[in-house]
Chains A and B, each alone.
Chain A
Amino acid sequence: QKEVEQNSGPLSVPEGAIASLNCTYSDRVSQSFFWYRQYSGKSPELIMSIYSNGDKEDGRFTAQLNKASQYVSLLIRDSQPSDSATYLCAVKDNYGQNFVFGPGTRLSVLP
């Protein structure tokens, strides 16, 4: 049974700070990793995908992957109140077809 774990939060950071969101997964054959943002009452939207060890940057977002430690993180620089949402980590392997989502971490950026 694949598992994806995240701290449920809430994680509170002041505006302009760096928010760090973490995710661990149990299945070593996982190959694809995703971060989705979900505003309250809305559906998830993809913000980052990462497939190789290391860092991947896209604007204010940086995804970090360490397959040996089975760990993936998302850093949000210069956090804004509009970043306040639940961030979902999702994992996919190359053998199954399905995505497994974590429970999400609720982020609150305080003005």
Chain B
Amino acid sequence: EAGVAQSPRYKIIEKRQSVAFWCNPISGHATLYWYQQILGQGPKLLIQFQNNGVVDDSQLPKDRFSAERLKGVDSTLKIQPAKLEDSAVYLCASSLPGGTKENEQFFGPGTRLTVL
């Protein structure tokens, strides 16, 4: 079974530029998460999708971050414009819906973003 795919793996941009990250979850996983992990900290949930609907985006900085999951499969996270403090690893995770299986999140390799 293929795991969660993410691209790019690394990205370096200057502040005020835009950047987009892509995630393809495990086949059949209806729930998809985007996390931000700053060096030395635990992952922080940015947004959670169930199929193509948003379940929780309370910690997404909506003035600069946006995410979509068209057709309930792939997802894209965008930052526009980027700030220095956005430098982090952006992790995508997916899980099956419902019951305890919903709690078993599988993470992708992440995208390391550096904002100069």
A complexed with B: yes
Interface centre among B42, B59, B105 (most CB of A within 10 A): B42
Contact (Cβ within 8 A) A34 B45: no
Q: How many B residues face the partner with a CB closer than 8 A?
A: 22
0/1 interface trace, chain A 85-111, chain B, CB 8 Å (1 if under)? 000101010001111111110000000
- A51 and B100 in contact, given A43-B108, A97-B48, A97-B55 (Cβ under 8 angstroms): yes
Q: Collect the chain A residues with CB atoms within 8 Å of residue B107's CB.
A: 43-45
Q: Collect the chain B residues with CB atoms within 8 Å of residue A45's CB.
A: 107
Determine the distance from Cα of A97 to Cα of B53 in the docked complex, in whole angstroms: 13
**Does B91 lie at the interface of the complex (its beta carbon under 8 Å from any beta carbon of A)?**
yes
Closest to A90 in B: B42
**Does A32 lie at the interface of the complex (its beta carbon under 8 Å from any beta carbon of B)?**
yes
Residues in B35-68 with C-beta less than 8 Å from chain A = 40-45, 48, 55-56, 58-59
Contact (Cβ within 8 A) B40 A103: yes
Contact (Cβ within 8 A) A46 B105: yes
Give the residue of B44, B103, B106 whose beta carbon is less than 8 angstroms from that of A92.
B103
Contact (Cβ within 8 A) B43 A44: yes
Residues in A54-111 with C-beta less than 8 Å from chain B = 88, 90, 92, 96-104
Contact (Cβ within 8 A) B103 A104: no
Determine the distance from Cα of A43 to Cα of B5 in the docked complex, in whole angstroms: 12
Contact (Cβ within 8 A) B44 A101: yes
**Does A30 lie at the interface of the complex (its beta carbon under 8 Å from any beta carbon of B)?**
no
**Does B14 lie at the interface of the complex (its beta carbon under 8 Å from any beta carbon of A)?**
no
- A102 and B42 in contact, given A43-B107, A43-B108 (Cβ under 8 angstroms): yes
**Does A21 lie at the interface of the complex (its beta carbon under 8 Å from any beta carbon of B)?**
no
Closest to B112 in A: A41
**Does A49 lie at the interface of the complex (its beta carbon under 8 Å from any beta carbon of B)?**
yes
**Does A4 lie at the interface of the complex (its beta carbon under 8 Å from any beta carbon of B)?**
yes
Q: Collect the chain B residues with CB atoms within 8 Å of residue A104's CB.
A: 41-42
Residues of A near any B CB (own CB < 8 A): 4, 8, 32, 34, 42-46, 49, 51, 88, 90, 92, 96-104
Residues of B near any A CB (own CB < 8 A): 33, 40-45, 48, 55-56, 58-59, 91, 100, 103-110
